[in-house]
Chain A
Amino acid sequence: MGRKRNLSEDGGREDEEEKPMKERRVQEKQEGRESMRPSMIKNKEKRAAVHAKLKQQKKVEKRKKVKAREAAEKKALELGEEPPPKMVPRTIENTRESDETVCLPDDEELFAGNDVDEFSAVLKNERSPKILITTSRYNSTRGPAFISDLISVIPNAHYYKRGTYDLKKIVQYANEKEFTSVIVVHTNRREPDALLVIGLPDGPTAHFKLSKLMLRKDIKNHGKPTSHKPELVLTNFTTRLGHRVGRMIQSLFPQDPEFRGRRVVTFHNQRDFIFFRHHRYIFETKESKQKESKGKKSKDEKNPQERTIARLQECGPRFTLKLISLQHGTFDTKGGEYEWVHKPEMDTSRRRFFL
């Protein structure tokens, strides 16, 4: 491709490009006299030595900075003043490209739209969620294992064998049986790799890429979940699209969690990846460290030094989802309209997120 471009474009442009390059080189040389970069040294031993020295210098400087900051903080504490403001690291998330579709809490149109969308019947407790889980045409090993894990996570989920039915027929059947959603686990090379979530009766259809799957039995010290209805945690679904996907996920679970069960299912969105985790939690009273207790749990309530802590135990499975497309209406690859499709031209910035 590069060759073609060279052929098509005349040499004039190359000259233009070269000029600034030359200028830049000259500039670098002028600066170089003051600070020699180690990469410009040709002898390897010397280069390594210079590099090590530079690194050491940087390390010392950094340590000094940290110490100075800590000292300032301590001093402020002692004097009872306001401590200096904490530094916030620059991450990709907090330098994210500004997006006008981010939902605001005072947006009345958003709530009006929510009231009439496809999930409102389930989310307002008018219908109780009933999920049909099925697979792609071929599935083996990890696929069925994942499904049995999934059934233990989602209450009122029923597995149906796929057989040779068309997905459209299955959707029709599920509609007749008053299911509220269909989940299709797609396996490729005996490994689940995609999840299709279809809202019933009239859409939408979300297609997720599934990766980093870890089944329950592979998680060390995993817990066994009870059959209580789980609590649901959805974090970071900020934009309009994210909101919609969040509501779709929410509609898979019952809206009245049983807090006695202490089960929590988390969908955490970070940089458009949705992380799924399933935990059990427990509140415990624990002695504080002054009485050496080697982490033993003592239920001795007379101890004045005890405090309550929350402990988590993962129940699994553990996986990551990434939205590929959101289709308007139920599954229809030929005649379907998309609400959102991922296109390669969207990936021009790593700081742009859609959920």
Chain B
Amino acid sequence: MPRTTTVESSGCPPLRALTFDILGLIKVVEAKGEQKEAPKVVETWGEPDASRCVLAASLVDREFDPLLGVARKSGKIEVLSPVNGDVRASISIESQNHPGSADNSIVGLHLFKGERLGSSSRSCNLLTCTSKGQANMTYVKMSKSLEDSGGESTQTTWNVCGSGSILCSKVDGDESYALFGGKGVEVNIWDLNQCAKVWSAKSPAKNSLGIFTPTWFTSATFLCKDDHRKFVAGTNSHQVRLYDISAQRRPVVSFDFRETPIKAVAEDVDGHTIYIGNGSGDLASFDIRTGKLLGSFLGKCSGSIRSIVKHPELPIIASCGLDSYLRIWDVKSRQLLSAVFLKQHLNSVVFDSKFSTREAQVPPQQQDTDETLQTEEEEEEEEEKTVKRKKASKEHSGSKKLKTKKKSKRSKGDSNDIA
């Protein structure tokens, strides 16, 4: 029976999200603060071109000098500024077989935020993975001026799998481990410092009828920010599995979700709630410790969900996919806060959580020059802040029941904290 009563929703808290679509457009969706306005598309970057189709995106979400990595279908990787969309660097991954070809496209991209190989504000590290299983660690030097967007790079390449095709790759919170999985590839965990395989999963046993379901991982995520040992993977046979490296090679918990393949899995900061999206547009949250359904996110979502992200501070998630809508949901009440129609099939979405503070700090016309001038002191400050935030988020999960009533107030309070 359809739900006839609607729970009073508190409207959209201030947020900024970036979406990436199959025409290579990057659209910035913003909801401005106090008036509880509906989010709107404020900016569109890039020209519509199918060869520039965005396959993967990664955001370094920090107050000072945030970076956005975008992997295009043509095999190019661009590092942009998520503030104004300027291309900071653009490289193409070199490999034996051309990555631009259809059968060896980039499936995963991660931009490192931590210090690695002496990266500074003028350079960054990124990890890419192609569907043939070529993982690539690249060190990119960014040019300061906009005209010279070439950028130097050094690369290290290794093979993650011999056969099959990789469909998902993720890097853990400490950025020292990465997992890869796909069609015909069991999930692997690699140590990024040594470029060595640490662990690989084992496929579950045949069922009672002696039927073996072939391995086909479609999405995966690490469960917790500080722990690389537990991760959740979704399979094409609509199964969600929790693996624990320290326990066993077979899944610890596994359960089914609906009838279509799992297409997106995202974790909450509390470390036990996960959000699952599947090929027919169903979105639900599960408690992974028990494998029990917490609830479904209902709202006329009709197209396959390609990407789910949790906002780092606010209790909201965003989902997007083939129905061309960016949907923002409240986590606690599981109500749809707003839906933005973005005209193209969307491939991924990221939250830019620090935008309000950034706007407060720097007036927009000075941003470019100021970013390069800022000293390391600020970076240190920022680190302290992140620590604080972690603590805060832990406290949040502790007082879960109290929160629901004061949701609107608290979200306001959060934004004040950061500012």
Contact = CB atoms under 8 A, between A and B. Distances in A.
Interface of A: 100-101, 107-110, 112-113, 116, 240, 328, 334-348
The 7 A-B residue pairs with the shortest CB-CB distance, nearest first, are: A112-B48, A337-B304, A116-B50, A337-B279, A339-B322, A100-B341, A348-B2
Contacts of B323: 339-340
B281 interface: yes
Given A116-B50, A338-B281, A338-B322, A101 B302 contact: no
Given A101-B324, A109-B343, A113-B344, A339 B304 contact: yes
Which of the listed residues A100, A328, A338, A343 has the most CB atoms from chain B within 10 Å of its own CB?
A338
B164 interface: no
B393 interface: no
Size range of the chain B interface in the assembly = 20 to 34
A156 B302 CA distance: 34
A344 B2 contact: yes
Given A336-B279, A345-B2, A346-B302, A112 B341 contact: no
A338 B48 contact: no
B203 interface: no
A187 to B, nearest CB: 24
Contact of A337 (B237, B322, B343): B322
Nearest to B51: A116
Nearest to A340: B302
B280 interface: yes
A345 B304 contact: no
Contacts of A337: 260-261, 263, 279, 303-304, 322
Q: Interface of chain A, helix or strand or loop or mixed?
A: mixed
Contacts of B126: none
B343 A107 contact: yes
13 contacts: A101-B324, A101-B341, A107-B343, A109-B23, A110-B343, A335-B236, A337-B322, A338-B281, A338-B303, A339-B304, A339-B323, A341-B281, A341-B302
Contacts of B260: 336-338
Given A337-B260, A346-B302, 11 more contacts: A101-B324, A109-B48, A113-B23, A328-B304, A336-B260, A338-B279, A338-B302, A339-B303, A341-B280, A343-B281, A345-B2
A340 B279 CA distance: 10
B60 interface: no
A328 B261 CA distance: 13
